[in-house]
Structure 1
Amino acid sequence: MVIIKSFLPFRIGLSSSAIYVKLSVGGFVVLINGKEFHYTPNGATSIHVNRKTGEVSNKDAVFVFQHGKEEERISMYELLFCSDFLIYLQAFIKPYSPNKTTPPWDRDELDILFDELELANIKRSIDKALDERDEATFYTLLKML
């Protein structure tokens, strides 16, 4: 089982269609069967993420990790099944991805809501003017209705 201990990329590159996460030696550490393995650039050196979909595009990449003289090869496909890896990766690519969240309100609904709130505020102000017996404010507010 692969557990991500640390993930700190060396550099993040951008193109119009992709985000490139360049890995650094010592910045990517995994635990495999209790042993700590450090990334080495003997295999793939970067992760390619599609900017529009947020999906990793180089799923066939194989990364090499080393513990002393022992080497482990881990495919991108295997790393994608580690939830820790996805969390780390998402944290680094999120600022460069297009905003996919859609507002819960559209512009027309917001305008209607603001109008209703303004009308309610005017009505409360009219009530306050009546309570204080302020005729000038009362007539001014009536014109705003």
Structure 2
Amino acid sequence: MVIIKSFLPVRIGLSTDTIYIKLAVGGLVVMLNGVEYHYLPAEATAIHVNRETGEVENKDAIFVFQHGKEVKRISMYELLFSSDLLIHLQVFIEPYSANKYIHHHGYEEIDILIAQLEMDNIRRSIDKALDERDEETFYSLLKML
């Protein structure tokens, strides 16, 4: 399994359809079997993300990592599916995304959390009304469920 230790692109470029995240030497550090490897711009030098869908387009790109004299080649496909690279990428592509679904998704999660907290509060209030044997409050709170 690949663990992303740090991710710091050197530059972000834009076209009408794509966000280009340019990597510098050491801009991506991964852990492989407990060993730290640093990115080298020997093959692929950027990550291409579709502005509309947020999907990485260059999945066949090969990224080179080095630890001492040992060199590892890892495909973008492997980085995406065996690490949390997408989470790290999200921070950098969000401001440039043509589709603001990311923001709406976040608000939706907050709304769900607030609704759950409100229901928990009603249940606690029902428990309190039962403890105090307050039938009127109990039945009014039941209607809120």
State the alpha-carbon separation in 2 of the partners of residues 54 and 76 from structure 1.
15
Secondary structure in 1 matching 2:31:
strand
One-letter code of the match for 1:85?
A: L
Tell me the residue number matched to 1:24: 24
Q: Deviations for 1:48-80, whole angstroms, at most 9, x for unmatched residues? A: 001011101101000000001100000000011
Q: What is the deviation of 1:26?
A: 1.2
The separation in 2 between residues aligned to 1:71 and 1:83, in whole angstroms, is 19
Q: Distance in 1 between matches of 2:23 and 2:57?
A: 16
Query: Is 1:37 the equivalent of 2:37?
Result: yes
Task: Structure 2: give runs of 5+ residues left out of the alignment.
Answer: 109-145
List aligned pairs for 1:101-112, cutoff 5 A: 101=104
Number of aligned residue pairs: 104
Letter in 1 for 2:72: E
Matches within 5 A, 1:49-88: 49-88=49-88
Rounded Cα–Cα distance in structure 1 between residues aligned with 2:92 and 2:54: 12
Letter in 2 for 1:20: Y
Amino acid at match of 1:49: V
Amino acid at match of 1:29: V
C-alpha RMSD of matched pairs (Å): 1.6
Higher CA-based Rg: 1
Give 3-state SS (helix, strand or coil) of 1:25's partner: coil
SS in 2 for 1:81: helix
SS of equivalent residue, structure 1 residue 80: helix
AA aligned to 1:59 is K
Q: Identity percentage over the alignment?
A: 69
Q: CA deviation at 1:82?
A: 3.5
**What secondary structure is seen at the aligned counterpart in 2 of 1:16?**
coil
1:14 matched to 2:17? The reply is no
The alpha carbon displacement at 1:43 in A equals 1.2
Name the residue aligned to 1:4: 4
Deviates more, 1:44-53 or 1:80-89: 80-89
Q: 2:4 touches 2:84 (CA, 8 Å); kept in 1?
A: yes
Return the letter of the residue paired with 1:78: E
TM-score by length of 1: 0.68
What's the CA shift for 1:83?
Answer: 4.5
